[in-house]
Amino acid sequence: MGKTCPKRKIVGTISFSSGRGRTTSTLRLFFLLAPALIIISLLFGGGLVLGFFQALGYLPGKELDQIGLQHFAHVLQDPDFFNSLGISLYISITSTLIAAAVSVMLALALMRWAANNRAMHFILQIPLTAPHLVIGIAALFLLSPSGLFSRLFSQLGILTSSSHFPLLVNDRLSIGILSVYIWKEIPFITFMLLAVLKNMGSELDEVGATLNGSKPQRFMYITLPIIAPSLGGACLIVFAFTFGAFEVPYLLGRTYPMALPVWAYKNYSDIDLLARPEGIAIGMLLAGIIILTIVFSQLLLQLNRNRRFNL
Partner 1 sequence: MSKVNTFAKHTACLLTFLCLSIFSSLAFTQEVLTWDDAVKNSRGQTVDWYMWGGSPAVNKYVNGFLASELKKQYGIILRQVPVKDIAEVVSKLVVEKQAGKESGGSVDLMWINGENFRTCRQKQLLYGPFADKLPNRQYVDTANPTVKNDFGTPVEDMESPWGSAQVVMIYDSARTPHPPRTIATLMDWIKNHPGRFTYPAPPNFTGSVFIRHIFYDTAGSVDKWQGNYTEKEFEQAANRTYSKLKELKSSLWRQGSTYPESPVRMNSLFADGEIDFSFSYQQSSASRNILDGLFPDTVRTFVFDQGTIANTHFVAIPANAKDKAAAMVVANFLLSPEAQLEKAKPEIWGDFPAISTTKLPGEWRQRFETLPRGVATLSDHVLQSHQLPEPQSKILVSLEKGWEKHVLKGR
Q: Would you tell me which residues interact with partner 1 (CB under 8 A)?
A: 59-61, 80, 145-146, 167, 170, 250-251, 254-256, 266, 269-273
At residue 107, what are phi and psi to the nearest 5 degrees? -65, -45
Kindly state the smallest distance separating residue 57's Cβ from partner 1, in Å: 14
Question: At 60, which amino acid appears?
Answer: P
Kindly state the smallest distance separating residue 66's Cβ from partner 1, in Å: 15
Kindly state the smallest distance separating residue 80's Cβ from partner 1, in Å: 8
Question: Within a 10 A sphere around the Cβ of 174, how many other Cβ atoms?
Answer: 24
Pick 121 or 254: Cβ nearer partner 1: 254
d(C-alpha 45, C-alpha 38), whole Å: 10
Kindly state the smallest distance separating residue 116's Cβ from partner 1, in Å: 44
Pick 26 or 146: Cβ nearer partner 1: 146
**Which contacts qualify for 97-103: CB closer than 8 Å, 24 or more apart?**
98/178, 98/182, 99/181, 99/182, 99/185, 99/186, 99/189, 99/238, 100/189, 100/231, 100/234, 100/235, 100/238, 102/182, 102/186, 103/185, 103/186, 103/189, 103/190, 103/193, 103/231, 103/234
Pick 12 or 60: Cβ nearer partner 1: 60
Pick 65 or 272: Cβ nearer partner 1: 272
Kindly state the smallest distance separating residue 82's Cβ from partner 1, in Å: 14
d(C-alpha 278, C-alpha 246), whole Å: 16
Kindly state the smallest distance separating residue 167's Cβ from partner 1, in Å: 8
Pick 80 or 206: Cβ nearer partner 1: 80
Answer whether 204's CB lies under 8 Å from 170's CB: no
- For residue 25, what are the CA distances in angstroms to 15, 87, 249? 6, 44, 44
Pick 206 or 270: Cβ nearer partner 1: 270
Nearest to 284 by CA among 300, 268, 302: 268
Kindly state the smallest distance separating residue 292's Cβ from partner 1, in Å: 29
Kindly state the smallest distance separating residue 277's Cβ from partner 1, in Å: 14
Nearest to 247 by CA among 261, 263, 266: 261
Answer whether 16's CB lies under 8 Å from 26's CB: yes
d(C-alpha 165, C-alpha 163), whole Å: 5
Pick 90 or 250: Cβ nearer partner 1: 250
At residue 168, what are phi and psi to the nearest 5 degrees? -115, -10
Pick 143 or 251: Cβ nearer partner 1: 251
Backbone CA torsion sign across 244, 249, 251, 256: negative
Pick 6 or 60: Cβ nearer partner 1: 60
Kindly state the smallest distance separating residue 76's Cβ from partner 1, in Å: 18
| 119 burial type by CB count under 10 A (0-12 exposed, 13-18 middle, 19+ buried) | exposed
